[in-house]
């Protein structure tokens, strides 16, 4: 009897301890006294509901052979955060934009400086040991993301996260600004672009709230201030084509120029914007992806390669549905980096998917453990090879298709 009573007592006190603990955690989260949370520096941070595709709609295809693990790692530690990989009209390159703000050119033997986006570079932009240490000076040094060559003129168009839409001649050097705002609202996070035969540019501004260095806050917030834009080469005017987009990212025109596809990162889908025909000026869904996309590139056949930053995860789905739960979790003393790792399903991995111009899934390549390739940002197909860039890694991966 005495024993039993003792057990009751301890279970009561255990309950009290639990309640106390719960209260302490709740209080901690409400006040975050030590400013350890992922959103401590963002007093206006808010979380929003975002409707993700249901699990039954998400493609279930997998590359069980993890074929991407056969990729070759190139230029290790010679390029930091090579988001976009492009070749010039003569087929030379690649060219890539790196974390310190330069656009580099591989001349076949070594990397040389090709272009830069900031008129105001100084020693604070010099190479550093870690990719993450660049972010605080990005607004001074520039951060080139999407790159595209004009096949006729050889001009390189650059989406710089801080300096907006830019262009530099075939000889390189300091890029000139084409556009920094639309409808009076400045770009905060210019991300990717594509251009048509007349030099009109279709591009994305990921957020009007957060700059690139705070891309995790865009992800965690699920805000939809992103815009898809058009720069008219004749008039020099920029107009908004699509607004209220959740993390708009990659943009790629179809081979015949009748539409372009853009990645809606926050929803894990591709959308299509009609440029020609009776549907011109309207958008529709193009494909639901197995995860959250970064860039998209069209190959010679007209198919689209999409780099998936991470697959859908149970936690990401729950967090999308319950923004208050998300905010609560974000107030725990867990770093933004670790919160992001949880969000992407525990470990960086790589998924590349290829879609036909009709939106049919044609091919999927993976490294589900992230052993060789992880956090892919872009995939550029050239001469039977896939060139895979990553904004978070210090190399380019090359996968042989045949
Ligand atoms: C130029 O860079 C310095 C720091 O190196 C910075 O203080 C200054 O604001 C920058 N000027 C412009 C116009 O960006
Ligand atoms: C650019 O503007 C001109 C003049 O208004 C117009 O004729 C042309 O169709 C526009 N181009 C695009 C791609 O919107």
Residue-wise pLDDT for 41-78, tens only, equals 898 999 999 999 999 999 999 999 999 999 999 999 99
The answer to whether residues 85 and 220 belong to one domain is yes
Query: Radius of gyration over alpha carbons of the chain, in Å?
Result: 23
Residue-wise pLDDT for 113-127, tens only, equals 999 999 999 999 999
- Reported as a pLDDT band with limits 50, 70 and 90, residue 31 is low
For residue 196, the ligand 2 atom closest to its alpha carbon is 13
State yes or no: pLDDT of 342 exceeds 80.
yes
Q: How far is the CA of 85 from the centre of ligand 1 (A)?
A: 28
Residue 37 lies in a domain: no
If one compares 35 and 336, the residue with the highest pLDDT of the two is 336
- Reported as a pLDDT band with limits 50, 70 and 90, residue 33 is low
- Reported as a pLDDT band with limits 50, 70 and 90, residue 27 is low
Contact 182, 229 (CB under 8 A): yes
Residue 316 lies in a domain: yes
| Residue position matching structure tokens 């955060």 | 81
Contact 218, 159 (CB under 8 A): no
CA atoms of 166 and 287, how far apart (whole Å): 30
Q: How far is the CA of 206 from the centre of ligand 1 (A)?
A: 24
| Residue position matching structure tokens 């106390």 | 20
Kindly identify the ligand whose nearest atom is closest to the C-alpha of 138. 1
Residue-wise pLDDT for 217-237, tens only, equals 999 999 999 999 999 999 999
For the segment 163-167, the average pLDDT, to the nearest whole number, is: 98
C-alpha distance from residue 150 to each of 75, 169, 197, 263, 274 (Å): 26, 10, 8, 22, 21
Q: Which two tokens stand for residue 315?
A: 């936690």
The answer to whether residues 309 and 163 belong to one domain is yes
Q: Look up the pTM and report it.
A: 0.92
- Reported as a pLDDT band with limits 50, 70 and 90, residue 38 is confident
* Residue whose CA lies nearest to ligand 1 atom number 1: 120
Please give the residue range of the domain that contains residue 198.
42-400
Three-state DSSP state, 323: helix
Cis peptide upstream of residue 94 (ω within 30 degrees of 0): yes
C-alpha distance from residue 120 to each of 116, 140, 168, 198, 318 (Å): 10, 7, 16, 31, 44
Mean pLDDT, the chain, integer: 93
CA atoms of 327 and 26, how far apart (whole Å): 12
State yes or no: pLDDT of 306 exceeds 90.
yes
Nearest to 217 by CA among 374, 41, 32, 28: 41
* Residue whose CA lies nearest to ligand 1 atom number 5: 122
Q: How far is the CA of 126 from the centre of ligand 1 (A)?
A: 15
For residue 198, the ligand 2 atom closest to its alpha carbon is 13
Residue 112, Cβ neighbours under 10 Å: how many?
Answer: 11
The answer to whether residues 324 and 221 belong to one domain is yes
What residue spans of 181-243 are helical by DSSP H? 215-221
- Reported as a pLDDT band with limits 50, 70 and 90, residue 39 is confident
Residue 119 lies in a domain: yes
Kindly identify the ligand whose nearest atom is closest to the C-alpha of 276. 2
**Best of 117, 138, 140 to mutate for ligand 1, by most ligand atoms within 8 A of CB?**
140
Share of the chain above pLDDT 70, in %: 91
Q: How far is the CA of 201 from the centre of ligand 2 (A)?
A: 12
State yes or no: pLDDT of 345 exceeds 80.
yes
pLDDT of residue 3: 47
pLDDT of residue 4: 46
Kindly identify the ligand whose nearest atom is closest to the C-alpha of 201. 2
* Residue whose CA lies nearest to ligand 1 atom number 11: 120
Nearest to 205 by CA among 252, 259, 243: 243
The answer to whether residues 372 and 263 belong to one domain is yes
CA geometry: angle 199, 354, 397, nearest 5 deg: 85
Count how many domains the chain has. Answer: 2
pLDDT of residue 6: 46
Nearest to 286 by CA among 189, 298, 48: 298
Kindly identify the ligand whose nearest atom is closest to the C-alpha of 233. 2
Q: How far is the CA of 200 from the centre of ligand 2 (A)?
A: 9
The answer to whether residues 126 and 103 belong to one domain is yes
CA atoms of 396 and 392, how far apart (whole Å): 11
| CATH number for the domain harbouring residue 222 | 2.120.10.30
The answer to whether residues 138 and 277 belong to one domain is yes
CA geometry: angle 255, 310, 333, nearest 5 deg: 145
The answer to whether residues 87 and 16 belong to one domain is no
Beta bridge partners of 135: none
Residue 110 lies in a domain: yes
3-state DSSP of 362-388: EEEEEECCCCCCCCCCEEEEECCEEEE
Residue-wise pLDDT for 236-290, tens only, equals 999 999 999 999 999 999 999 999 999 999 999 999 999 999 999 999 999 999 9
Q: How far is the CA of 252 from the centre of ligand 2 (A)?
A: 19
Beta strands in 319-360 (DSSP E): 350-355
Residue 387 lies in a domain: yes
Nearest to 205 by CA among 183, 235, 236: 183
The answer to whether residues 15 and 146 belong to one domain is no
CA atoms of 354 and 348, how far apart (whole Å): 20
119 lines ligand 1 (CB under 6 A): no
Asked which of 16-20, 124-128, 173-177, 213-217 is least confident by mean pLDDT, the reply is 16-20
236 lines ligand 2 (CB under 6 A): no
State yes or no: pLDDT of 29 exceeds 90.
no
122 lines ligand 1 (CB under 6 A): yes
For residue 232, the ligand 2 atom closest to its alpha carbon is 1
Kindly identify the ligand whose nearest atom is closest to the C-alpha of 239. 2
Beta bridge partners of 176: 167
Residue 36 lies in a domain: no
The answer to whether residues 4 and 134 belong to one domain is no
Residue-wise pLDDT for 180-202, tens only, equals 999 999 999 999 999 999 999 99
Residue 63 lies in a domain: yes
Q: How far is the CA of 234 from the centre of ligand 2 (A)?
A: 7
Handedness of CA 63, 65, 67, 68 (dihedral sign): positive
């Amino acid at each position: 009897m005495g024993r039993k009573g003792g057990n009751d007592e301890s279970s009561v006190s255990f309950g009290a301890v639990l309640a106390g603990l719960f209260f302490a955690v709740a209080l901690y989260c409400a006040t975050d006294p030590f400013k350890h949370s992922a959103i401590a520096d963002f007093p206006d941070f808010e979380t929003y509901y975002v409707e993700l595709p249901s699990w039954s709609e998400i493609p279930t295809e997998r590359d069980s052979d993890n074929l991407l693990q056969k990729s070759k790692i190139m230029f290790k530690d010679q390029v930091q955060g090579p988001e976009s990989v492009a070749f010039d009209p003569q087929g030379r390159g690649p060219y890539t934009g790196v974390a310190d703000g330069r656009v580099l050119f591989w001349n076949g033997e070594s990397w040389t400086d090709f272009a830069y986006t900031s008129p105001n570079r100084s020693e604070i932009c010099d190479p550093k040991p870690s990719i993450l240490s660049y972010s605080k000076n990005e607004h001074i040094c520039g951060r080139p993301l999407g790159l595209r060559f004009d096949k006729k003129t050889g001009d390189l168009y650059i989406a710089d996260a801080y300096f907006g839409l830019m262009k530099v001649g075939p000889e390189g050097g300091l890029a000139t600004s084409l556009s920094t705002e639309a409808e009076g609202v400045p770009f905060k996070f210019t991300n990717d672009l594509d251009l048509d035969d007349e030099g009109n540019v279709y591009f994305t501004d990921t957020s009007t709230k957060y700059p690139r260095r705070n891309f995790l806050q865009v992800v965690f917030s699920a805000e939809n201030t992103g815009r898809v834009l058009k720069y008219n080469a004749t008039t020099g005017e920029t107009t908004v084509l699509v607004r209220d987009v959740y993390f708009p990212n990659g943009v790629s025109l179809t081979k015949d120029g009748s539409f372009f596809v853009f990645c809606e990162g926050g929803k894990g889908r591709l959308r299509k914007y009609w440029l020609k025909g009776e549907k011109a000026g309207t958008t529709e869904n193009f494909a639901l992806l197995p995860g959250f996309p970064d860039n998209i590139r069209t190959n010679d056949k007209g198919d689209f390669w999409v780099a998936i930053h991470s697959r859908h995860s149970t936690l990401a789905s729950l967090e999308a549905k319950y923004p208050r739960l998300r905010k609560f979790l974000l107030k725990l003393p867990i770093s933004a980096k670790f919160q992001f790792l949880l969000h992407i399903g525990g470990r960086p991995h790589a998924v590349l998917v290829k879609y036909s111009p009709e939106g049919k899934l044609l091919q999927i390549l993976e490294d589900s453990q992230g052993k060789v390739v992880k956090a892919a940002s872009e995939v550029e197909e050239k001469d039977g090879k896939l060139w895979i860039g990553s904004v978070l890694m210090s190399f380019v991966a090359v996968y042989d298709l045949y």
